[in-house]
Structure 1
Amino acid sequence: MALRKLSGDSDCKSGTCPTLWGTEDGTDALVQGYVVTDPEQLAQIDLPEGETVVRVPMNILEDYFRARRN
């Protein structure tokens, strides 16, 4: 299934910065971000088997939702 870029860091120089992706059918979003490894932060989240947590700059989500309102 093809992905489309929904939002990303416009200041990204490397091309591999955190990004919000959507599936072509619009049913799912994929988040590219920094893997959270801090044990104190992870202890606050009840993660089920097979899930992980990634950190994404808030401006990426804000840009996406701002664009959706327009």
Structure 2
Amino acid sequence: MLRKLSGDPDCKNGTCPTLWATEDAGSYVVQGYVVTDPERLAQLDLPEGESAVLVPAAVLEGYFRAQR
């Protein structure tokens, strides 16, 4: 089960970039926009089975603000 930690404050449709914690709080799941730019993907040099997503800064900032 996932627990929502922070979402895009500008979200209008409920399925926007979001930060989630796993049930055991040992990992996080990041929901965001798939990185498709070949230049950015080349810089990341992702191994098989990994992907990259863009997440608005406000999603992570909201989470860290809540932790203070």
Matching of residues 1-70 of structure 1 within 5 Å? 2-69=1-68
Give the RMSD, CA atoms, in angstroms.
0.8
Runs of 4 or more, structure 1, over 2 Å off, are none
Kindly indicate whether structure 1 or structure 2 has the higher relative contact order, using CA contacts under 8 Å at least 6 residues apart. 2
**Gapped runs of 5+ residues in structure 1?**
none
SS at match of 1:44: helix
Identity of aligned residues (%): 72
1:25-53 residue CA offsets vs partner (Å, 9 max, x unmatched): 10010000000000011111121110000
Query: Structure 2 length normalisation: TM-score?
Result: 0.94
Letter paired with 1:46: D
**Count of matched residue positions in the alignment of Structure 1 and Structure 2:** 68
Query: Structure 1 length normalisation: TM-score?
Result: 0.91
